[in-house]
Amino acid sequence: MNTASFNPTSLFAERMSGVPTSFIREILKTTVQPDIISFAGGLPNPAFFPVEAFQTAADTVFSQSGRTALQYATTEGYLPLREYIAARYKATQGLDIKPEEILITSGSQQGIDLVGKVLVNPGDTIALEKPGYLGAIQSFSVYQPNFHGVTLTNEGVDVDELEALYDKQAVKLFSAIPNFQNPTGISYTEATRLRVAEALMGRNTLVIEDDPYGDLRFFGARAKSLRAYFGDQCILFGSFSKIAAPGFRLGWVVAAKPIMEKLIIAKQATDLHTNFVGQRIMHEYLVNNDLDAHIQRIVAAYRSQCEAMTSAISRYFPVEAVATKPEGGMFVWITMPEHFSTVKFFDEAIKQKVAFVPGVPFYVDGGGKNTMRLNYSCSDAATIDEGIKRLGVLMHEMLPKAAIVG
């Protein structure tokens, strides 16, 4: 007689033990109450979802080619959509990208996972920004790499530190968000981009450029893509989530042919292809609406909300709280004195009905205990002012106590 009992946890793959849970998802569970002022999310503002335009696009797709749209499709993605993306790169950034170098994915997050499947072996070294994008940390963790965080400055990644890491050991990938980085809101200067290129071009490594926020620039000209420097040495991620609608889960990967061939195989094994109905509706929307005008409406709102938040921070936070000054995107990053714990601060802030994300989960090698991320994209000016005011009062109360404890 078999006396062994069923224990599902004993059946998990060892690699899952090193994959962190989504810290942000856990925090968001505490913010579901309607009276919570939440700066914790990273969601686009639903007020700017073009619902009517998408409804029209969906009606057209189903009335003109519904049976085709509902059928299985090619793994690479709907060719006219890939042609649109390629043409837009040429028009907006001067990048020469062929449609066959583009793979449509289920959000750019899937692109990160596919790159991990294709390129990362256990023990490979991945360099990423410190603090870094939590989605990349989670996705790559499944493939058991060794992470090395490289410090972010107000000008972008610390290139001296990055170059020293490469000189010391083999690095498979450098993963970066050079435009309005998540979580800090920092953008690489042109000088930093050039220095990164000079440091890494020609090395046997790949540069991952994740660019979900690049269109959300508040002022000034769009910065030069890392792919413009690196060419085929760069894998570029893009997404419609921040500029159209995240619910479609439509992103893409741009990669050179040898890499793309493997990505397609991995994509086939994962889900065959991304939702084809969604691809058809998105393309119909894009070719019949002014995307740039739509983006400018989003940018105008986010710029105003960002200004409301940074202004409130300057009025209510203690001088010891150092805030980034984003030129676009959705986030402000706060650094407190080293003895201040933003995890403990979060516990008290929730009692005051305000939520944010403590900085700890964005660091792969420790640190960040005195940092925090604030999101402004889904809050109006009055709500931002009230929430920042509450946090400021609490900071003034806790900062002296934290210094004594520290």
Residues 274 and 314 in one domain: no
Residues 360 and 238 in one domain: no
Residues 279 and 223 in one domain: yes
Residues 175 and 244 in one domain: yes
Reading the chain (406 residues) residue by residue, the pLDDT tens digits are 566 789 888 898 888 877 776 666 777 676 677 899 999 989 999 999 999 999 999 999 999 999 999 999 999 999 999 999 999 999 999 999 999 999 999 999 999 999 999 999 999 999 999 999 999 999 999 999 999 999 999 999 999 999 999 999 999 999 999 999 999 999 999 999 999 999 999 999 999 999 999 999 999 889 999 999 999 999 999 999 999 999 999 999 999 999 999 999 999 999 999 999 999 999 999 999 999 999 999 999 999 999 999 999 999 999 999 999 999 999 999 999 999 999 999 999 999 999 999 999 999 988 999 999 999 999 999 999 999 999 999 999 999 876 655 5
Q: How many folded domains does the chain comprise?
A: 2
CATH number of domain containing 199: 3.40.640.10
Task: Please identify, among 233, 267, 288, the residue that sits at the C-terminal boundary of a domain.
Answer: 288
At 360, list the tokens.
């700890």
CATH number of domain containing 38: 3.90.1150.10
Task: Please identify, among 288, 320, 340, the residue that sits at the C-terminal boundary of a domain.
Answer: 288
Distance in angstroms (rounded) separating the CA atoms of residues 62 and 356: 42
Residue 195 lies in a domain: yes
Residues 194 and 106 in one domain: yes
Residues 115 and 213 in one domain: yes
Residue 7 lies in a domain: no
Residue 371 lies in a domain: yes
Residues 164 and 267 in one domain: yes
Domain around 401: 14-43+293-405
Residues 206 and 78 in one domain: yes
Residues 23 and 142 in one domain: no
Residue 339 lies in a domain: yes
Q: Is 6 exposed, middle or buried (0-12, 13-18, 19+ CB in 10 A)?
A: exposed
Residue 63 lies in a domain: no
Return the pLDDT at 55.
98
Residue 223 lies in a domain: yes
Residue 136 lies in a domain: yes
Distance in angstroms (rounded) separating the CA atoms of residues 240 and 163: 33
Q: Tokens 């890494």: give the residue.
A: 200
Nearest to 230 by CA among 272, 271, 259: 259
Residues 117 and 258 in one domain: yes
Return the pLDDT at 15.
86
Residue 299 lies in a domain: yes
pTM of the model: 0.94
Q: Is 131 exposed, middle or buried (0-12, 13-18, 19+ CB in 10 A)?
A: buried
Task: Please identify, among 257, 288, 319, the residue that sits at the C-terminal boundary of a domain.
Answer: 288
Do the Cβ atoms of 173 and 52 come closer than 8 Å? no
Residues 264 and 132 in one domain: yes
Distance in angstroms (rounded) separating the CA atoms of residues 226 and 235: 9
Distance in angstroms (rounded) separating the CA atoms of residues 97 and 103: 12
Residues 323 and 219 in one domain: no
